[in-house]
Amino acid sequence: MARVVALQQNQLSFSPLASSLSDFSGTRLQTQLQFKRKLCHPKGSFYVSASSTKKILIMGGTRFIGVFLSRLLVKEGHQVTLFTRGKAPVTQQLPGESDNDYADFSSKILHLKGDRKDFDFVKSSLSAEGFDVVYDINGVQIPTCSHLLCLFFTYNFIIYVTLRVQITIFHNISLFIIYFSGREADEVEPILDALPNLEQFIYCSSAGVYLKSDLLPHAETDAVDPKSRHKGKLETESLLQARGVNWTSIRPVYIYGPLNYNPVEEWFFHRLKAGRPIPIPSSGLQITQLGHVKDLATAFIQVLGNEKASKEVFNISGEKYVTFDGLARACAKAGGFPEPEIIHYNPKDFDFGKKKSFPFRDQHFFASIEKAKRVLGWEPEFGLVEGLADSYNLDFGRGTYRKEADFSTDDIILGKSLR
Kindly report, residue by residue over 12-60, the tens digit of the pLDDT.
Answer: 333 333 322 223 333 333 333 333 333 334 444 433 333 589 999 999 9
Q: What is the pTM of this model?
A: 0.80
Cβ burial of 279 (10 Å; 0-12, 13-18, 19+) is buried
Decide which of 3.40.50.720, 3.40.50.20, 3.30.360.10, 3.30.565.10 is the CATH code for 55-142+176-414: 3.40.50.720
What per-residue confidence (pLDDT) applies to 416?
76
For residues 338 and 332, the answer to whether their CB atoms sit within 8 Å is: yes
How many helices (H) does the chain have, and how many strands (E)?
11, 17
What is the C-alpha separation between 256 and 264, in angstroms, rounded?
7
Helix (H, G, I), strand (E, B) or coil at 381: coil
The pLDDT tens digits of the residues spanning 59-104 come to: 999 999 999 999 999 999 999 999 999 998 999 999 889 999 999 9
pLDDT 10s digits, 302-355? 999 999 999 999 999 999 999 999 999 999 999 999 999 999 999 999 999 999
Q: Name the residue ranges covered by the structural domains of the chain.
A: 55-142+176-414
DSSP state of 86: S
Residue at 263: amino acid letter: P
Distance CA(81)–CA(79), nearest Å, equals 7
